[in-house]
Amino acid sequence: MVAGAGEPSAAATGSSSSSRHGEGHDNGTLQPRMAGSTPFSAKPQFEVPDKLEGVGSVEKEKKEWNTKALGQRVAVDAACAATAGGLVAPVITTIDKAIIENASGKRQMMDSLKASFSALLTRPHRFLTSKPFALIFMLYSGTYFTANSLDTIKASMSGRRASTTTSGPSKFAAVSMANLSLCLYKDSQFTKMFGAVSPRPVPPVTYALFAVRDCLTIFASFNLPPIIAPNLPLSESAQKYVSRASAAQFLAPAAIQLVSTPFHLLGLDLYNRNGGTLLSDRLRKVRVDWLKSSVARMGRIVPAFGLGGVVNNGMRSRLMRGLE
């Protein structure tokens, strides 16, 4: 038969066979495949980055704690708190004692104030080592130290400067809890020392009324100022000397004493007259002492939340900058 008349030549046959074998080999390795499919390739179709963008930076930020001179910073926090607490304690001790003695009928308010200031001026060593002074000092230095140490902890964990101050719900909750706990203990001791009856356990209802009083003061000191500041009627000339924010910081906690003082007086009366006294008689006693006691409590708020806070914050900022 003549080649090319319907039969493939030997060369064509060999070429076809070689082609088929070549399709099934890759560098001498047999790669089986199904009919109609393409050869498998192990090479990835896209490039995988060695690390995702941003992950390394996040891990780096988490590790960057600012622990420089941490021991000295804690000492500064304590020193500033003690200085501010010691500065406001004499005045607040005198006022708190006068309010309780007046409410119990033990001594008129003005007489108590005169006696305390006389003791402070003539026998300062006895006044400054007395238990009432120590309780007030503990209350405010403890409150300031709580705020300072929380600022130091947050600055260290976030890698910020030592002089950084913070704000927010966590700081408000921590400072409020410290102030409320210390204040309830202080009031229970003052009530026993300067009450009209012999010392006895403070009833739970008195503690509850003191807690309401302190919650109102804390709310007015931390939450109310930014709310009322924009609406304060201050002229442009007045704002050259005091800002709306500063004015609100003083006015809000002072004004709230008109609301919180009745809770304070009722709690004292429940301790001093723990018996069958009618509620109407208790409210009458509260009404009689309300105005002068409110004014006296306003007088203690200014040094406690105004002067003391300014001294603590200013002194801490200056000393912390020296450690940066």
The tens-digit pLDDT sequence of the chain (324 residues) is 444 444 444 444 444 444 444 444 444 444 555 454 555 555 555 555 555 555 544 444 455 887 888 889 999 999 999 999 999 999 999 999 999 999 988 899 999 999 999 999 999 999 999 999 999 999 999 999 998 999 898 888 888 888 887 777 888 888 889 989 999 999 999 999 998 888 889 999 999 999 999 989 888 887 788 889 899 898 888 888 888 888 888 888 899 999 999 999 999 999 998 778 999 999 999 999 999 999 999 988 888 877 888 888 889 989 988 887
Residues forming a β-bridge with 25: 30
**Residue/partner pairs of 208-212 with CB below 8 Å, 24 or more apart:** 208/267, 209/263, 209/264, 209/266, 209/267, 209/270, 210/183, 210/184, 210/263, 210/264, 210/267, 211/180, 211/184, 212/260, 212/263
For position 156, what pLDDT does the model report? 86
For position 4, what pLDDT does the model report? 44
Surface-to-core class of residue 131, CB atoms within 10 Å of its CB (0-12 exposed, 13-18 middle, 19+ buried): exposed
Rg of the chain over all Cα atoms, to the nearest angstrom:
38
For position 49, what pLDDT does the model report? 55
